Structure 1
Amino acid sequence: MTPLRRGRPDDGGDRRARIVASATRLFADEGFDAVSLRQVARDAGVDPALVHHYFSGKDELFAASVELPADPDDVLAGMASLAAQDRGTALLRAIARLWEGPQRHALAAFVRGSLGSRARTAAVREVFRARVMPRVLEGLEGPREELELRATLAATQVMGFILLRYVVQLEPLASLPREQAVALVAPTLQHYLTGELTDPDPGRGS
């Protein structure tokens, strides 16, 4: 293991890059929740104080490790204060505004670059699991297992919307006015967030 180098950095770019590279691998392999800043520092061969020197916390390091073009906290600001039945529309509207704004090219490059990389794909999964869906589901009632299932189902709808409308640009969805596209897709997303998840035909397949 690389010996720890204490003190303020004299090769800042190199040490910061090593920290980000270690974080990227660890987040992809172990998930956001399982990784600590001290673990990242140990893997990168630096003093833990250096991680805090470059990054305010794990969220900022995570964003840097996956090269997020936008901060989920900013995109989803105020989401938790909305009534549960309004969150599907609000989430899709926020995503549509983001993808149709100045960052659209960076976002498309991020998604395309993630599809061919195991580490980046895992990172995208962690973005949704650890930073997007908890904010959308905050305050919703239900067992943990049910909320995790809802988060997964909602993520499939959100990612499908992003991929088909903005990355693949499948017509006619790609050319629909924003509010029309949101109005058509949001009810399904809202069902995943708050609707019944029981099998409509329990006897099927028996």
Structure 2
Amino acid sequence: MSNGRTGRRKGNPDTRAQILDAARDAFAEVGFDRATIREIARRADVDPALVHHYFGSKDKLLLATIDAPFDPGKVLPGIIGPGLDGVGERLVRAFVGVWDGPAGARGSVLLRSALSHPLMLRLLREFLISRILRVAVRELGVEIDHAPFRGSLVASQLLGLALTRYILKVEPMVDAPPEAVVAMVGPTIQRYIEGPLPDSAP
């Protein structure tokens, strides 16, 4: 006999996991910008209000899908706020600070997962492009030519740093003092952001 209840089910112990699974699929398939809370809720077979209840916003939902080691919304203002001058060193200092801290273990797990699982790789790429690089360029408030290409160069440098220092643990990089890393890598990031590009740059 029916109990008369209709509609999508309310929260249960598995609801959060269902939403995360649906969000991973949606973000990987259509990207962060095109994926909507309503579509994610439909895939999870829950009410959209439950998505907001568990995660608050689409930004935080993306962070949860990859167990991100940091929230760009909290870190980027300190990097971008002072302006373009010195942004490379601030970015590297913040990056190394996160990875050298307690959240570094989560970052290592994320990067290892991305290297071996195509779904996590797409999610990590979406996180880097949509929630870090695009936001950083927009918040800098200056016109940056070839911004996508420059952003990919910055990403290549930071991911290379993460691999050598925290995953492969290449000596002596793994034991280099943070400020030494900042002093050497920061200017390279700065050049990628505002330095001249070859005529063949995409």
CA contact (8 A) 2:69 2:98 kept: no
- Alignment of 1:190 with 2:187, yes or no, is no
Partner of 2:3: none
- TM-score, length-scaled by structure 1: 0.87
Instruction: Tell me the amino acid that sits aligned with residue 162 of structure 1.
Output: A
Instruction: Tell me the amino acid that sits aligned with residue 176 of structure 1.
Output: A
Query: Distance between the aligned counterparts of 1:74 and 1:42, measured in 2?
Result: 30
Offset from partner CA, 1:43-69 (integer Å, 9 cap, x none): 111121221221211001111111112
CA contact (8 A) 1:165 1:173 kept: yes
- Alignment of 1:88 with 2:88, yes or no, is yes
| Deviation, structure 1 residue 76 | 2.3
- Alignment of 1:5 with 2:8, yes or no, is yes
Instruction: Tell me the amino acid that sits aligned with residue 47 of structure 2.
Output: D
Moved more, 76-85 or 97-106: 76-85
Query: Distance between the aligned counterparts of 1:96 and 1:111, measured in 2?
Result: 15
Partner of 1:14: 14
Instruction: Tell me the amino acid that sits aligned with residue 64 of structure 1.
Output: A
Query: Distance between the aligned counterparts of 1:101 and 1:49, measured in 2?
Result: 34
Partner of 1:117: 117
CA contact (8 A) 2:66 2:123 kept: yes
CA contact (8 A) 2:144 2:194 kept: no
Gaps of 5+ in 1: none
SS in 1 for 2:42: helix
| Deviation, structure 1 residue 178 | 1.0
Partner of 2:165: 165
Superposition pairs of residues 1-206 of structure 1, within 5 angstroms: 5=8, 8-9=10-11, 11=12, 13-137=13-137, 138=139, 139-142=141-144, 146-199=146-199
Query: Distance between the aligned counterparts of 1:87 and 1:130, measured in 2?
Result: 19
SS in 2 for 1:174: helix
Query: Distance between the aligned counterparts of 1:120 and 1:30, measured in 2?
Result: 14
SS in 2 for 1:77: helix
Q: CA RMSD in A?
A: 1.8
| Deviation, structure 1 residue 4 | 5.0
Q: Percent identity?
A: 38
Moved more, 155-164 or 134-143: 134-143
**How many residues align structurally?**
193
Query: Distance between the aligned counterparts of 1:69 and 1:186, measured in 2?
Result: 21
